[in-house]
Amino acid sequence: MVMALITLSLNAQTINEVIESFNAGAAEVTAGNFEAAITNFESTIEQATTLGAEGDEMKAKAEGQIPPLYYRMAMDTYKAKDIPGAIAKFEETVVACDKYGNEDVKGKSLKYIPQLYNSNGNTQLKAGDFEGAIASFDKAVEYKPDYARAIYGKGLVYRKQKDQGNMVATLEQAIEVGNAANPVDDKTVAAATKILKDGFVNAGKLAFKDENYADAISNFESSFKYDPENAEAYYLISVIHGRQGDFDKAVESATKALEYEDDDAAKKAKIYYELGNAHVGLVEYDKACAAFKNCLVEPYTASVKHQMDNVLKCQ
């Protein structure tokens, strides 16, 4: 009888201590001291566990408090614009959710984490921390494999590093992932496509200027993968073929350029000029006359009139 009474007394004292620990944690929450609150709730869980079934209710209550507190700390850090700190806090929240159980809070945290890694990567990119930026973009994709924007960001890093091979491969991956998203990430797809198109076109123009015609054509043709209706690229290819005496290909490219050119009269005039010269090279004078009639504007007027009146005898 005496031993039984002593045991009951000890158990009562212990459950009271568990309740006191929980209440202390609740008081810290009210005071906004979330880390201290978590410490108290963890102590509550430890004490309640020693009681077995008698402590299960208090243990469950304490466990239920911890993940939301981690989430609140993460949100506070995020609102303070401490991106690296917020990443760490949200990751701690996910760990707490796995340990104590809270799928709702875990899901919310997992939405923030890849966005924050992407944001951090952009900041690092601007600061010239390319290694750190790649690591951040990779983490964003690790959490969200279909995150086209983070893949795009990594492509921008390679662009800054002038790593053509990795840039092209990564931006193409961004396009693929963006197109597969639901809904399609049109903004990222368009941005990545433009960079690739412009990159190849600009490289083609530089090679053209240096009279490195093989590289120029190669780059222009590569650009068609991202913009198959680039009139300017077709026009420059036509010019190259004309200079090389390959007039059939010059006609073919000039015709494509006219097909895709808008209603800009000056741009069309220069294409017709190349087309006319190519037909002259092929001794197709009627077609040459028809082409030249469309480019009687400066700076082609004198050259065209000479051809039409003295060489071709156009009617």
Domains located in the chain, CATH noted: 1-144 (1.25.40), 229-315 (1.25.40.10)
- How far apart, in whole angstroms, are the C-alpha atoms of residue 137 and residue 122? 8
Phi and psi, residue 299, nearest 5°: -95, 20
Mean pLDDT calculated for residue range 113-131: 98
Helix, coil or strand: residue 101? coil
Residue 4: is its pLDDT beyond 70? no
pLDDT band at 8 (very low <50, low <70, confident <90, very high): very low
- Taking only the tens place, the pLDDT of each residue in 78-116 is 999 999 999 999 999 999 999 999 999 999 999 999 999
Model pLDDT for residues 253-291, shown as the tens digit of each residue = 999 999 999 888 899 999 999 999 999 999 999 999 999
Dist CA 57 CA 82 (whole Å): 37
User: According to the model, what pLDDT value does residue 12 have?
Assistant: 52
Mean pLDDT estimate for the chain: 93
Give every CB contact of residue 273 below 8 A, 6+ residues apart in sequence. 291, 292, 295, 300, 303, 304
Residue 9 has what pLDDT?
A: 45
Phi-psi region of 178 (alpha: psi -120 to 50; beta: other; left: phi over 0): alpha
Rounded to two decimals, the pTM is 0.85
pLDDT at 30 over 60: yes
In residues, how long is the chain?
A: 315
Within 8 A by CB and 6+ apart from 300, the residues are: 269, 270, 273
